[in-house]
Amino acid sequence: MPKGTYYFPEGFLWGTATAAHQVEGHNQNNTWYAWEQEESRITDGHKSGLACDWWGGRWREDFDRAQATSQNAHRLSIAWSRIQPAPERWDEDALDRYREMLIGLHDRKITPMVTLHHFSEPLWVAELGGWENEAIVDLFAAFVKKAVEALIPYCDLWVTINEPNVFAVGAYLDGVFPPGEKDLQAALKVLYNMVRAHAHAYTIIHDLQPDAQVGTAINYRGFKPATWVPLDHWLASIHSKLFNDLFPRALMDGQFRAIIKKEQIPEAAGTQDFLGVNYYSCDTVRFDLTKRREMFARRFYPEDALLSESGFIANLPDGFSEAIHWGRQFGVPIIITENGVEDSKDILRPRYLVEHLHALWRAMNENGIVKGYFHWSLVDNFEWERGWTQRFGLWGLDVDTQARIRRPSVDLYAEICRTNGISSEMVEKYAPEAMKRLFP
């Protein structure tokens, strides 16, 4: 077998990503906490509980782990519900705590990236109609102003909204996220309000910090037609337009093209300094008359695909290269804001990791400008409506004892971060089954 190393550009960001509700624990003032209390919303009735106890201070030991394993960046989110627990109340202690966390990252030579909305908001915002109510644009703006003002000295890399596409589908179409609606019109309204809220936040952040880098994190999903039948092709393309293109295109040219809802949002044009891409997998799409709510698309994984532990993710690294090619159309640098796989036994993860990074390397060599990669995630955390049934951490978590479990992928990723590349020795050692593909 040939030997060699795929090197990444100097200064490449190598990190992990997390989100407030998934790691902090004991936040009782947000939509997800309330959702967890309702019967049968979360698999096996799981609750976030203490999560990874970051609010209790365990972020320190986890940041130590990130530092000791050569990560030079970390993406975390801050909770609106903690910073503004009521419409007229700002919690300075909460801001202090986030300040401390960002200083903690700097002390460890880790560059922070902060997400301002990651799937959850305060209960009082939900009571006002949440993202369906246009008032959210100004409410979010006030929160962003307060939070960014407080955190400016420690961060200049901002994600306004995480996965607006997944949020709109999960919360307003599939009904598996709070508020559990199943209404396409509502989902589109929410996306429209999110574009406006992002645009407003973009301006606010740049007014406060002119050299800030501001973007969103879009979940890119490949949609492949199952057959040559034109209907399958048409469906795959519609799904891609709505799910992938809609949001970042609106931020590029101010046109909101939602097929049945077309609007101009001129203030959104030119409001992304980078494109955050979250990539996990691709779907095959086939026309199916019984799937009315899924817009007549039956989605599935190829029969021969390697699946993750619960079947949630198929290992399809070519889709990752495609994601980068797709992202180039927006004319801004790309940051991989999430990529990873659920795997408590760490059987597939090493292979998934090297094959995806190799796909990324390939796409970068074909002119995709990518500035960094954030693996999801540093440590197992609360996986939304799937609770604790999916384990995405490099480190495992024993939820009862808070013990961290070092998985082999920790050491693989550490070597990648430290050497800024993937070598044949690493692949041979940690994921020999990927040798054929990476070093043929």
- Site residues for ligand FCB per CB under 6 A: 19, 22, 162-163, 166, 219, 278, 338, 376, 383-384, 392
Rank residues 254 and 387 by Cβ distance to ligand FCB and give the closer one: 387
**CA atoms within 13 A of residue 34's CA, in its CB half-sphere:** 16
**CA atoms within 13 A of residue 104's CA, in its CB half-sphere:** 19
Rank residues 19 and 116 by Cβ distance to ligand FCB and give the closer one: 19
Shortest Å, Cβ 77 to ligand FCB: 9
Rank residues 343 and 383 by Cβ distance to ligand FCB and give the closer one: 383
Shortest Å, Cβ 342 to ligand FCB: 7
Closest to 74 measured CA to CA, from 103, 105, 104? 105
Shortest Å, Cβ 262 to ligand FCB: 27
Cα 151 from Cα 141, distance rounded (Å):
15
Buried b (16+ CB within 10 A) or exposed e, 25-41: bebebbbbbbbbeeeeb
The DSSP code for 241 is I
Cα 419 from Cα 128, distance rounded (Å):
50
Shortest Å, Cβ 227 to ligand FCB: 28
Rank residues 283 and 383 by Cβ distance to ligand FCB and give the closer one: 383
Cα 155 from Cα 337, distance rounded (Å):
16
Does the CA dihedral 60-62-65-70 come out positive or negative? negative
Rank residues 71 and 278 by Cβ distance to ligand FCB and give the closer one: 278
Buried b (16+ CB within 10 A) or exposed e, 351-373: bbbbbbbbbbbbbbeeebbbbbb
Rank residues 219 and 272 by Cβ distance to ligand FCB and give the closer one: 219
Pair 343, 378: CB distance under 8 Å? no
Shortest Å, Cβ 383 to ligand FCB: 5
User: DSSP alpha helices (H): ranges in 90-183?
Assistant: 92-107, 123-127, 136-151, 164-172
Cα 268 from Cα 313, distance rounded (Å):
33
Rank residues 6 and 320 by Cβ distance to ligand FCB and give the closer one: 320
Shortest Å, Cβ 301 to ligand FCB: 16
Closest to 190 measured CA to CA, from 160, 214, 166? 166
Owner of token pair 């040939």: 2
Shortest Å, Cβ 429 to ligand FCB: 26
Rank residues 321 and 337 by Cβ distance to ligand FCB and give the closer one: 337
Cα 293 from Cα 345, distance rounded (Å):
35
Strands annotated E in 153-237 = 157-162, 213-225
Shortest Å, Cβ 163 to ligand FCB: 5
Shortest Å, Cβ 105 to ligand FCB: 19
Pair 140, 197: CB distance under 8 Å? yes
Rank residues 163 and 322 by Cβ distance to ligand FCB and give the closer one: 163
Shortest Å, Cβ 387 to ligand FCB: 11
Shortest Å, Cβ 131 to ligand FCB: 16
255-257 and 111-117 beta bridge pairing: unpaired
274-287 and 213-225 beta bridge pairing: parallel
Rank residues 85 and 387 by Cβ distance to ligand FCB and give the closer one: 387
Rank residues 143 and 279 by Cβ distance to ligand FCB and give the closer one: 279
Question: Which tokens sit at 88?
Answer: 């007229």
Q: Which helix H or strand E contains 245, and what residues bound it? A: none
